[in-house]
Amino acid sequence: MRGGRRTNLALLVLVAVALATGTASFAVGAPPATSLVTTAHAASGLALLLLVPWKQAVARRGLTRPAHPGRRAGWLLSVLLLISISTGVVQEVAGFTTVLGITALQVHVATALLAIPLLVRHLVTHPQRPRASDLSRRTLLAAGLLGAGALAAAGLTRRLGPASLAQRATGSTERGSFVPSRMPVTQWFTDVVPPRAQRDAPLLVNGAPVELGVLDDEVEAVLDCTGGWFATQRWRGIHLDRLLGAAPAGARSIDVISTTGYRRRFPVEQAGELLLATSAGGQPLSPGHGAPRRLVAPGRRGFWWVKWVAAIEVVEDPPWRQPPFPLQ
Ligand code: HEM
Ligand code: HEM
């Protein structure tokens, strides 16, 4: 196989698309966005594998050259990306499973992120310049064939898993629907289940302690965790529009803040869709799932469903003024 500059440039585009769509797959919560993003993600990731025969030729040429800067980083990059791609496929085929407390998806995302500095170093030590002639009809045809092959490979991996694997378009598999005690307990990065005394502090709404009154709002909603599992439950509590009353003039957002300091901000217009829940499936929430109260944010990924809610504040800041993913 003859591989060269165009193979390298194709790899660059594909890794960039895989990183962008992988990150976007955590941000989108409902179809059709979820299917579009994860299909593009699977195809760009698997297209990297389809280019291996051509890249092998490039890399082999590197081995015939005397030792040079960035060689080791290039090989380490290959190892990390191969682990990332294979653990991505494991998540797709086997679903949410833990081995020694670690999931395939955690290894997948960690190796992808670790690959970024190595890729940057590889680009610095092995620069390649695009040329106007790269946009020839032949390259476009090759790109089209690669795209078709990648989509076929993505379709194939989706059929490899057992038929019983209930999977959402986000790639998450079903765990504990309508049986809340069977849902895994997962937290965003450094967040931990707080001690009881801390969880049981009174709820503050706009700075004042509030007793929750009648809790008879109920919704059936899917909690789709970025850890790779999802569960449908009947959540019971009170919708934020009822809890907060009419929003004051100038209000643009609602901040929902956990006793751990974890927080997310929502557009004030969505108050009627957001539920402050105290029970699921007729049972009070467990400590791992946010007792005594958590937010239910239908259509959004799990990291929006703030647990151990300690305070809710209506603010004038716009909803976009927050990091897209929690920094905690
Ligand atoms: C170099 C970067 C990356 C590559 C090459 C890559 C590649 C892949 C591949 C090949 C799959 C399997 C898809 C399938 O078999 O259908 C996958 C799944 C997945 N990846 Fe990535 N990925 C990368 C980065 C990321 C990042 C940064 C995230 C999230 C922050 C992410 C999240 C996911 C998720 C949630 C799945 C499961 C969704 C599905 O099954 O389609 N990936 N990835
Ligand atoms: C994305 C995945 C990539 C992997 C896993 C990868 C891996 C490697 C490896 C292992 C080598 C041989 C190591 C060496 O001798 O230095 C190599 C060589 C090379 N790579 Fe990459 N690479 C990737 C992407 C890229 C990109 C995006 C570019 C540039 C745009 C590039 C440009 C080169 C060049 C110019 C060589 C040298 C070939 C020679 O010495 O004749 N690579 N790559």
CATH number of the domain within which 250 lies: 3.90.420.10
Residue 56 pLDDT greater than 60, yes or no: yes
Please tell me whether residues 103 and 238 are part of one structural domain.
no
- Residues 6 or more apart whose Cβ sits within 8 Å of residue 284: 278, 291, 292
**Do 33 and 179 have their domain in common?**
no
Domain that includes residue 256, residue range: 175-315
- Regarding whether 306 and 187 lie in a shared domain, the answer is yes
pLDDT at 176 over 60: yes
For residue 274, tell me if it sits in a domain: yes
Question: Do 143 and 98 share a domain, yes or no?
Answer: yes
Q: What is the domain count for the chain?
A: 2
pLDDT of residue 3: 64
CB 328 within 8 A of CB 262: yes
Residue linked to tokens 């504990």: 176
Percent residues over pLDDT 70 in the chain: 99
Domain boundary among 135, 160, 185: 160
Matching residue, tokens 């009070």: 284
Which residues sit with their C-beta closer than 6 Å to ligand 1?
15, 18-19, 22-23, 25-26, 38, 41-42, 45-46, 48, 81, 84-85, 88-89, 91-92, 105, 108-109, 112, 115, 154, 157-158, 171
Model pLDDT for residues 179-191, shown as the tens digit of each residue: 999 999 988 888 8
Q: Which among 90, 85, 137 has a CA at the least distance from the CA of 111?
A: 85
Do 208 and 127 have their domain in common? no
> Does one domain contain both 100 and 216?
no
Is residue 198 in some structural domain?
A: yes
Record the pTM.
0.94
40 and 133 inside one domain: yes
Can you tell me the distance from the alpha carbon of 239 to that of 241, in angstroms, rounded to the nearest whole number? 6
Specify the residue for token string 């009822």. 242
Minimum CA distance residue for ligand 2 atom 4: 78
Residue with tokens 């469903």: 305
Dist CA 196 CA 296 (whole Å): 21
Indicate if 125 and 270 belong to the same structural domain. no
| Virtual torsion, Cα 174, 176, 182, 186, nearest 10 deg | 50
The answer to whether residues 218 and 278 belong to one domain is yes
211 shares a domain with 137: no
Q: Residue 221 is encoded by which pair of tokens?
A: 């909603």
Per-residue pLDDT tens digits for 117-171: 999 999 999 999 999 988 899 999 999 999 999 999 999 999 998 888 889 999 9
Q: d(Cα 240, Cα 252) in Å, to the nearest integer?
A: 14
Please indicate, yes or no, whether residues 130 and 217 belong to a single structural domain of this protein.
no
